[in-house]
Structure 1
């Protein structure tokens, strides 16, 4: 007989989408998309571990999230292999069981084609791609511990890609960034295939245009903002609940049979724009 009961109770709206009691690690969780995702998990009564490069931003975000639930901060820089290893060690010290790992920390670089520096690819790919791979491998003991602790329920890895990683080509000259997000999508599929046998799902969320610090300059000009929003079929920017809801779905019982997927959260821009 198929399993119809989870740790959260019988299959139904409350049980299907519950993340209560899970330990969720969110890199780059102090600002932007990461903060939105972390807020959704905190509101769902998960234990959130924020990874932040900046101590002040991390502590400020954690203080806000503690109003909803449990939140801790790990400070570290994911731009080098040594930095990733230090973050992994610190995360496992406070959270030896990792139910959900959200890779959100990212970097971008914008510049004209002829002036786009070669070093931009090194800087952007170090955080957006290489750190995702190294940190996933480093936190496998925590993910495997979560699988062992909850028989029949997978651990989850969620990468934050972008519609800039395809099929949409950004009007912004962010060559290194767009290429890195395409790599994140393919890395997600590759990890999903490898880890499926260990009951670890790996999926990507690909946001469209959200108002964050990364897009602040792009949206600062009212006329340009209006043009960009006009290109979104649903006619608005993304909101916190849009991306948080996608992450909660993938992390909950409702998304337990989903792996290797790149889920666009873009108001229809990539599908029907």
Structure 2
């Protein structure tokens, strides 16, 4: 059974792995045996230290996924690192909170470019490599707002809803090539992105009241689901968006 979750000998590219959910996913994959390439705007020194402490190799590729310009370079660096790329985790994302009446084109484009456009072209570039070899695993980080509308985050909700659709579309095309495309949909997690919500006593209390688990998620609550979607255990799983939400959507 352990071999189903064993990632030894595999290389994973994780975007936005310097903190929060991306960092937790990168460390979980390393704990299962994968070497890690972390790509993002900010240095990932803490992630590097934790990955290397697990005995795995680590590479940081600086990239701003607000545009697609770095996609080809990052993929080339990731492949050159170990000679192959087996896992892609599209975690890098951004959010803009504002009343829908006040959202500008610039606000909208910034969110959509990072959360959707770059995800597609990064997945495309990686899939071209995977299709030449033994396939691989692509994991998108979606959201509860892949299922719901949210409040004051129209571009984010649109991008994450579209990401769930993109996950299904790519799975339909690439499953026959040995490439699994799936998504994780984190619930309310204790990360930098939710600081404003957690510091708003009324919102925080309302959120907690709806979560059957009775607490905000911790980044390492994603570890098992990420390793499952990255390993052999999910070889016949294609096109799902898996909520990891403490039961929020069941309420």
Q: How would you bin the TM-score normalised by the shorter chain?
A: over 0.9
Tell whether the 8 Å contact from 1:233 to 1:267 is kept in structure 2 after alignment.
yes
Q: CA RMSD in A?
A: 1.5
Normalising by structure 2, we get a TM-score of 0.94
Change (3 A) 1:52 1:95: farther
Q: Distance in 2 between matches of 1:39 and 1:199?
A: 25
Matched, 1:180 2:180: no
How many residue pairs were aligned? Answer: 250
Superposition deviation, residue 259 in structure 1: 0.4
From 135, 142, 158, the counterpart of 1:161: 142
From 26, 50, 59, the counterpart of 2:14: 26
Matches within 5 A, 1:148-227: 154-166=135-147, 168-170=148-150, 172-227=151-206
Which residue of 1 is the match for residue 93 of structure 2? 106
Matches within 5 A, 1:232-271: 232-270=211-249
Q: Distance in 2 between matches of 1:125 and 1:163?
A: 17
Tell whether the 8 Å contact from 1:229 to 1:236 is kept in structure 2 after alignment.
yes
Q: Distance in 1 between matches of 2:69 and 2:125?
A: 12
Superposition deviation, residue 218 in structure 1: 1.2
**Which piece of structure 1 moves more, 220-229 or 201-210?**
220-229
Q: Distance in 2 between matches of 1:134 and 1:117?
A: 24
From 64, 72, 94, the counterpart of 1:77: 64
**Which piece of structure 1 moves more, 108-117 or 189-198?**
108-117
Which residue of 2 is the match for residue 151 of structure 1? none
Tell whether the 8 Å contact from 1:42 to 1:71 is kept in structure 2 after alignment.
no
Higher-Rg structure is 1
| Unmatched segments (≥5 aa) in structure 1 | 1-11, 148-153
Superposition deviation, residue 146 in structure 1: 4.7
From 39, 47, 51, the counterpart of 2:27: 39
| Unmatched segments (≥5 aa) in structure 2 | none
Tell whether the 8 Å contact from 1:96 to 1:145 is kept in structure 2 after alignment.
no
Superposition deviation, residue 113 in structure 1: 2.1
